[in-house]
Amino acid sequence: MQPPDELMTGVFLPAMRQLVAGKLRSRGLSQNRVSSILGVTQASVSMYLSSGPEKAYRLLSRFAVTRRAADSDAEVLADQLLRDPAESVRGLNSIWTALLGSGAACTAHREAYPSLAGCDFCLKEYGSRGSSLSEAVAQVTQAVRLLEESSQFVAVMPEVSVNIACAAADAASPADVVAIPGRIVKVRQRAKAMLPPEPGASAHMAGVLLTAKRRRGELRACINLRYDPKMASVLRVSGLRTLNLGTRRTGGTLASTAELLEKKIASSASFDAVVDEGGSGIEPNVYLFAKGAPEVAKLALKLAKAYSAA
């Protein structure tokens, strides 16, 4: 029995207490008063204040909580504590259950208990019923796990690293596309996500995916891989329908990939992969597309296996 409550009491709560202690102290309250309000010892408050907020930020980042969000939540909780301690209990519980419902705590929970790899209880129990965005978070979480478990995937990771994106069913903007903040990088010859997935994490991948989705509405996920002569050969025998954006004579930016794709797809019947041959300062990449994040991850692993054997 490994409920997520252990993460709440062991990680999330201490981190939030530390930030709230700082907010209360900045309002002129004594350490003794802060300790009384928080229900902890004065020694604990002294430790919170002397160590600074960096540890708290680092712990909360495990749940995809940004510094800005953490500070905002801490300010709200400080207000509630001063107004009505019972209100702060409701507020803290609301913040935590929102994280559970979005899937933001799933990665940390599964890292602590690998046997929960297939668990989706919190998404179903606390997430908005039918929430497509929560489902996208769960899909990317599952896809990342597949990539991290592979010993061959690193062979097809480009120098700019990898990201995997999944759009909500009704996605209309980058905020509706879930990806990995900081990308997926190589760590000891394995892929490793820098942070848990969250909405709006990659404007570049969102732009590429949403552009493709406008042409093929069923596409909800994409991933980028290295592109070189060996990958070109692998793609030729894979059976995938490939759209080539060509080489950029004047270089450009990664963001311009979506612009190139927009121009190309108007005359394209269909595609499963898009090749961007890059240009000055832009590394060549191939983008794979599928109806879901686990599916696109499995497709990437299939190509990685063929690439390693070539």
* 104 occurs within a structural domain: yes
Domain final residue, candidates 49, 78, 111: 111
Radius of gyration of the chain (CA): 22
Report which of 88, 82, 97, 92 is spatially closest to residue 34, judged by C-alpha positions: 82
Q: Could you list the mean pLDDT of each consecutive 10-residue stretch along the chain, which spans 310 residues?
A: 85 94 92 92 92 91 85 87 84 83 82 81 66 79 92 94 92 87 89 86 90 90 96 95 79 64 75 88 92 96 94
Domain termination site, one of 42, 76, 111: 111
CATH of the domain at 135: 3.40.225.10
Count of alpha carbons within 13 angstroms of residue 303, beta-carbon side: 32
Q: Are residues 73 and 186 in the same domain?
A: no
The overall pTM is greater than 0.75:
no
Q: Are residues 149 and 24 located together in one domain of the fold? A: no
Q: Would 116 be classed as within a structural domain?
A: no
CA 96 to centroid of chain Cα atoms:
18
Q: Report if residue 121 sits inside a domain.
A: no
Instruction: Show the tokens assigned to 89.
Output: 């209990």
Instruction: Please report whether residue 123 resides in a domain.
Output: no
Range of the domain at 191: 130-309
**148 plus 107 within the same structural domain:** no
Q: Are residues 183 and 71 in the same domain?
A: no
107 shares its domain with 134: no
CA distance 209 to 289: 8
What is the reported pLDDT for 137?
A: 83
Q: Please report whether residue 118 resides in a domain.
A: no
Q: Is 50 within a domain? A: yes
Q: What is the 3-state secondary structure (H, E, C) of 180-225?
A: CCCCEEEECCEEEECCCCEECCCHHHHHHHHHHHHHCCCCCEEEEE
pLDDT the model gives residue 294? 94
Task: Count structural domains, the chain.
Answer: 2
Query: In terms of domains, do 72 and 207 share one?
Result: no
Q: Indicate whether 124 belongs to any domain.
A: no
